[in-house]
């Protein structure tokens, strides 16, 4: 159960080898989390994450989960929830894709949408149903500022996050009064394996900073979290910049 100070006792990370997911799990294990479910495709990174969290004292269960395989989500996630209450489910998977390749090969673009949007839709619906049955719990959805306004340089990725963001907000509203809730997290450019070698955007942040913002958001019961916080004001300005100007901005 989540305690009065917003510290959960059990955590499910979808995208178990995600750096933001692991950084969040680390912090939560240090406060109250005892049971961690890591759901992801088998990989050395996933095993290493499990190992590290075990060393911190958590009871870690690893589950074979493929975000793109939407027809398996009900079964795979259903089993996890059947093992006991999940106080926080963190939807941390996502792929950046290659914008240029996607523009050339439509199926490559569809693969990004399959994971970031479709996979997120099915898995968050399964989680939401389970949380509703539990009568408590938070679904934390990692969105992105890239979804706030489509950019020439990464609109395939950005559009999947835009769809996910809108979906997660609506899902959160649908859970009003059920005891379950959704928290949407919108990080800016995060320095991780996923963005390695890329040109950094202004206000770039780290997986650890995102994790800290997630933990603080849970504590406060926030519905939307920007990382860093200043992005909220930057984006509310950028949102109103005319298209003709926006597409020329070096963002």
Partner 1 sequence: MAGLSVAVMDGPEGPLTGWGRTAPTTARLRTPTTAAEARAAVRAADGRGLLARGLGRSYGDAAQNAGGTVLDMTSLARVLALDLERGVVTCEAGVSLDRLMKLLLPFGWFVPVTPGTRYVTVGGAIGADIHGKNHHVSGSFGHHVTRMRLLTAAGEEVELAPGEELFDATTGGMGLTGVILDATIALLPVTTSLMSVDTERATDLDDLMQRLEATDHRYRYSVAWIDLVARGGATGRAVLSRGEHATVDLLTPRQRRDPLAFQPRSLPPAPRGIPGGLLRTGTVGAFNELWFRKAPRERRGQLQRIGAFFHPLDGVPEWNRVYGPGGFLQYQFVVPYGQEAVLRSIVEQLSRHGCPSFLAVLKRFGEGGPGWLSFPMPGWTLALDLPASVPGLGPLLDRLDEQVLAAGGRIYLAKDSRMRPQTLAAMYPRLAEFRALRERIDPGGAFTSDLARRLAL
Residues 6 or more apart whose CB falls under 8 angstroms from that of 121 comprise 70, 164, 167
Task: Looking at residues 185 to 214 of the shown chain, list those that interact with partner 1 (rule: CB under 8 A).
Answer: none
CB 221, min distance to partner 1, A: 8
Asked if residue 72 lies in contact with residue 121, where contact means CB atoms within 8 angstroms, the answer is no
**Nearer Cβ to partner 1, position 178 or 192?**
178
CB 203, min distance to partner 1, A: 25
As a whole number of angstroms, the distance between CA 241 and CA 135 comes to 42
233 is catalytic: no
Task: Looking at residues 32 to 91 of the shown chain, list those that interact with partner 1 (rule: CB under 8 A).
Answer: 32, 85
**Nearer Cβ to partner 1, position 2 or 231?**
2
12 binds partner 1 (CB under 8 A): no
179 binds partner 1 (CB under 8 A): yes
Pick from 54, 104, 133, 248 the residue near partner 1 by CB under 8 A: 133
139 binds partner 1 (CB under 8 A): no
**Nearer Cβ to partner 1, position 130 or 168?**
130
Q: Which stretch binds partner 1 (CB under 8 A): 45-53, 67-75, 175-183, 201-209?
A: 175-183
Token readout for 208 is 């650890």
CB 136, min distance to partner 1, A: 4
Q: At what angle do helices 19-31 and 44-55 cross, to 10 degrees?
A: 10
CB 3, min distance to partner 1, A: 4
Pick from 136, 149, 191, 232 the residue near partner 1 by CB under 8 A: 136
Q: Which of 81, 117, 157, 189 is catalytic?
A: 157
CB 100, min distance to partner 1, A: 46
**Nearer Cβ to partner 1, position 67 or 175?**
175
Q: Which residues have a catalytic role annotated?
A: 157
Interface residues with partner 1 (CB under 8 A)? 1-7, 9, 31-32, 85, 133-136, 177-180, 220
């Amino acid at each position: 159960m989540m305690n009065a100070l917003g510290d959960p006792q059990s955590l499910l990370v979808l995208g178990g080898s995600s750096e933001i997911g692991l950084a969040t799990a680390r912090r939560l294990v240090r406060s109250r989390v005892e049971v961690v479910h890591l759901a992801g495709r088998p990989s050395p990174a996933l095993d290493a994450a499990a190992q590290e969290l075990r060393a911190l004292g958590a009871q870690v269960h690893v589950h074979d989960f493929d975000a793109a395989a939407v027809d398996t989500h009900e079964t795979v996630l259903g089993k996890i929830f059947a093992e006991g209450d999940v106080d926080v489910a963190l939807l941390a998977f996502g792929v950046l894709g290659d914008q240029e390749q996607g523009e050339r090969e439509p199926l490559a673009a569809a693969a990004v949408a399959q994971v970031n949007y479709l996979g997120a839709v099915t898995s968050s619906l399964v989680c939401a149903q389970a949380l509703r049955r539990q009568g408590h719990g938070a679904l934390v959805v990692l969105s992105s500022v890239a979804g706030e306004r489509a950019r020439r340089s990464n609109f395939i990725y950005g559009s999947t996050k835009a769809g996910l963001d809108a979906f997660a907000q609506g899902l959160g509203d649908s859970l009003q009064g059920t005891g379950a809730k959704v928290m949407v997290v919108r990080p800016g450019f995060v320095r991780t394996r996923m963005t390695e070698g890329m040109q950094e955007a202004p206000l770039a942040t780290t997986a650890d900073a995102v994790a800290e913002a997630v933990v603080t958001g849970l504590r406060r019961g926030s519905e939307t979290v920007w990382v860093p916080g200043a992005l909220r004001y930057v984006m509310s300005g950028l949102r109103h910049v005319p298209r003709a100007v926006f597409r020329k901005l070096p963002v």
